[in-house]
Structure 1
Amino acid sequence: MNPIPFWKMSGSGNDFIIIDNRAGVVETVEVPRFVAMTCRRRMSVGADGLILIEPSRRVDFQWRFFNADGSVAEMCGNGARCAARFAHLNGIAPADMAFETLAGVITARVRGDQVRVGMSDPRDIVIQETIDLPDGRITLSHLNTGVPHAVIEVPDADAVDLGALGSAVRYHSRFAPAGTNVNLIAPVGEGPWAIRTYERGVEGETLACGTGVSAAALVLALRHDHPSPVTLATRGGSLLKVHFQRTGQDFSDVALEGDARVIYEGRLWPEGWRY
């Protein structure tokens, strides 16, 4: 296979490899293995995920989104912002666009390096449930914002071993068989709440997670009556803003706003995924 053109992009520190696959340049390889090999840091390009941009018959394009381990995810808020800006810069879609995901059709608006994407209406919202872990009981909230998320309020996010706690919650029987992403949120003085996220598929902490920020914002709205928009400070230092309409316990018109930056363009040689 010839080298494959790609872009490396970052959404608030969540980094992605994005490939224009409208001509099927990736179809001749086993895609999950290709993704897992290409997302290896130091051995290949390295990324939190890989996005294929493909044709759609009803909206501007469709994507296929893969976690770093090659597994498929229904939705990724930071990835969606990067995909939208990629499509706009490459003439695939106008600045106001719509594209297909496994979580449904997503709308997006690109303004420079700032992108606002419509998110799926949340479902399966459970506020403050207690579960048993090997190290004791813990109380958390959980919901689906395109993918499943658990949200845990703590006094100090930096004081928690997120790797251990995230793995224990991610694989807990309560969330079987698919598992869940895990978010810690903590108040920081008068500023935005801080958030740290353990992502399934990456199986570790990432610098930001758009669907996780969305889940955390909605939990803050329900638990602390926080009005729209809610801003959270990600581990990567960026601020992500979540807009929504709320009626009692129900939400609609959820949108995620933040940066989507182009890091570089390149050509991926077969040596990048065959070894």
Structure 2
Amino acid sequence: MQIEFIKCHGSGNDFIMIDEMTKNYSFTEQQRKDLSILLCNRQEGIGSDGILFVMPSEKAEARMRMFNSDGTEAEMCGNGLRCVARYVIEKLRKTEVAIETEKAVLASSQVAEIYPGIDTFSVAIEPVSFEASSLPMTVKEEQVVDQVIPELSNERTFTALSVPNPHIISIMDEVLQDELLHVGKKANNLPAVFPKGVNVSFVKILEKNKIFVQTYERGVGLTNACGTAMSASSLVSTMLGPNELDTPIVVINKGGLVNCVVKKTDERYSIQLRGNGTYVYKSVVDVNFDDKEFQVHEKTFFNEENEKYQQLEGYALSQIGGESS
């Protein structure tokens, strides 16, 4: 099968995006899983954190399904949703669209630039729940807010929430990558506590309304950025830290930066995630599903927007300084 694709990223969280809205592709569920494992492999494949399938929808302008590099499907993907939003907005020549995801239909739009020269897209991150059962997380308490999870660590406290992906967030003075890797792996090998796995994020408050976030992403591992994790971390930073509701929170990550706006209405939270949806290159791949083989054709790079994003990335790295190791 010959498949057109765009290699893209949101905050360095990179994806292979495949258009099923206008292309006559017909994938089985097994083929979606096989494609993810085959093409996302960074040693032998194209290399990415996952595949975004942009599909027709009866509820919205488009539907998004995201498969991780291990072949599992995520409930949602904030960084990927921005890439899909850009694609659909440009395809339909609109400024606002709705995208259907597994748990909700989410509003998406093009908004003011978060950094000079970077086209910026805002996506809604919801529904938000602090009920442990929504992750799911097996504990005696109905909610886990700034509490020790003994099975993971007796030194760190975590807040658990779904957005709708499952997350546990720990705010700390210094983000240690080795510790995050250890805790992330441990959490995703605890089916008695997290039967469907969980995303683990460490957060450092840089200053008021500015944080640094790094995430161990379920099904992927350590990532440059995770959109729903940055959104969840921003929310937790308004509850346990100095950050404000209804105010853009600058979220620095290893792949760049985003803005998150946390809102609260009638005791219910919602989050707007604003950031890039950058195209790296476009190409075509020939896939033989029977033999698990593929061949990538010539790549056409989007050089100008990649150069602009490198400037944003450099700025973000200068903000991190020596805050993570």
| DSSP-derived class of the 1:30 partner | helix
Between the aligned partners of 1:188 and 1:123, the Cα distance in structure 2 is: 26
- Match for residue 121 of structure 2? 115
SS, match of residue 165 in structure 1: helix
3-state secondary structure, aligned to 2:80: helix
Aligned partner of 2:4 in structure 1 is: 5
Corresponding position of 2:299: none
**CA separation in 1, counterparts of 2:152 and 2:176?**
21
1:223 aligns with 2:216: no
Q: 1:32 to 1:93 in 2, by over 3 A?
A: farther
1:140 corresponds, among 152, 158, 174, to: 158
Letter in 1 for 2:167: H
Match of 2:49 in 1: 48
**Mean alpha-carbon deviation: is it higher for 118-127 or for 71-80?**
118-127
Deviation at 1:26, TM superposition (A): 4.5
Question: How far apart in 2 are the matches of 1:127 and 1:172?
Answer: 19
Alignment size in residue pairs: 270
Q: CA, structure 1 residues 152+249, in 2 after alignment: closer, same or farther (shift >3 Å)?
A: farther
Q: Could you report, residue by residue, the CA deviation over 1:28-56 in whole angstroms, capped at 9, with x for unpaired residues?
A: 66220111111111312111010111111
Q: How far apart in 1 are the matches of 2:178 and 2:10?
A: 24
Alignment counterpart, residue 269 of structure 1, candidates 266, 280, 286: 286
Question: What residue number does 2:95 align with?
Answer: 95
Q: Match for 2:272 among 255, 259, 266? A: 255
- Stretch deviating more after TM superposition (33-42 or 151-160): 151-160
The equivalent of 1:172 in structure 2 is 190
Q: Shift of residue 133 of structure 1?
A: 3.4
In structure 2, relative to structure 1, the CA distance for the partners of 1:79 and 1:93 (3 Å cut) is farther
The CA deviation string for residues 222-266 of structure 1, in whole angstroms up to 9 with x for no partner, is: 112521322211121x221111222585313x2100111111000
* Superposed CA offset, 1:88-123 (max 9, x none): 23x246220001100210110024721000111310
Aligned identity (percent) is: 29
1:162 and 1:103, CA in 2 relative to 1: closer, same or farther beyond 3 A? same
CA distance in 1, matches of 2:241, 2:67: 34
* Cα distance in 1 between the residues matched to 2:158 and 2:266: 20
Q: Gaps spanning 5+ residues in structure 2: where?
A: 112-117, 132-143, 294-325
Instruction: Confirm or deny: 8 A CA contact 1:222 1:249 kept in the other structure.
Output: no
Instruction: Kindly indicate whether residue 236 of structure 2 is the aligned counterpart of residue 210 of structure 1.
Output: no
Describe the shift of the 1:174–1:151 C-alpha distance in structure 2 as closer, same or farther (beyond 3 A).
farther
- In the alignment, is the contact (CA less than 8 A) between 1:170 and 1:182 conserved in 2? no
Contact 1:76 1:146 in 2 (8 A): no
Conserved in 2, the CA contact under 8 Å of 1:4 and 1:269? Answer: yes
Q: Distance in 1 between matches of 2:94 and 2:287?
A: 32
- Seen in structure 2, the aligned counterparts of structure 1 residues 189 and 224 have a Cα distance that, compared at 3 Å, is closer
- TM-score if structure 2 supplies the norm length? 0.77
The answer as to whether partners of 2:208 and 2:243 remain within 8 angstroms in 1 is: no
User: Does 1 or 2 have the higher relative contact order (CA < 8 Å, sep 6+)?
Assistant: 1
Tell me, in whole angstroms, the C-alpha distance in 2 between the residues paired with 1:134 and 1:108: 36
* TM superposition score normalised by structure 1: 0.90
CA RMSD of aligned residues (A): 2.3
Q: Residue 138 of structure 1: CA displacement?
A: 3.2
- Higher mean alpha-carbon deviation, 151-160 vs 12-21, is at 151-160
> Which segments of 5 or more consecutive residues in structure 1 lack a partner in the other structure?
none
Equivalence for 1:197: 215
